[in-house]
Amino acid sequence: MSLEKIIDEMIKKAIADGEFDNLKNAGKPLNFDEYFATPENLRSGVTLLKNNEFVPEEVELLRETGMLREKLKNCTDENEKRALNKKLNEKTLALDMMLERNKRRR
């Protein structure tokens, strides 16, 4: 049996087993604008990271500091405020150090 037939059988089995039923963005039109806007030499890497929901550490730290700031705004307990401030300072310092280190690499 040829490789093409084996793959075709695997796909048919996956469809029959419902493995494609709940895919993210199922039924929505494909938008290739972002894909083709990415430089050709970076497309496969960017697509791989995006499809696996990879978020750079810097972006994750920005998100976390934003959440901590929001929690601080709504916090009324002084002990909790101190703990949140401590976490915020640690995350902000880590982000600043990471950005500085990245700046030096350029």
Domain spans of the chain, in order of start: 3-51, 57-105
pLDDT in tens, 34-79: 888 889 998 898 888 888 888 888 889 999 999 999 999 999 999 9
* Global confidence as pTM: 0.55
Overall average pLDDT of the 81-87 stretch: 95
Q: How far is CA 59 from the centre of its chain?
A: 9
Which residue in 93, 27, 24, 32 sits closest to 53, CA to CA? Answer: 24
What is the structure's pLDDT at 46? 85
- At residue 90, what is the residue type? E
Cα separation, 65 vs 69, in Å, equals 6
Tokens for 64, please give them.
């976390």
Which is higher by pLDDT, 93 or 27?
A: 93
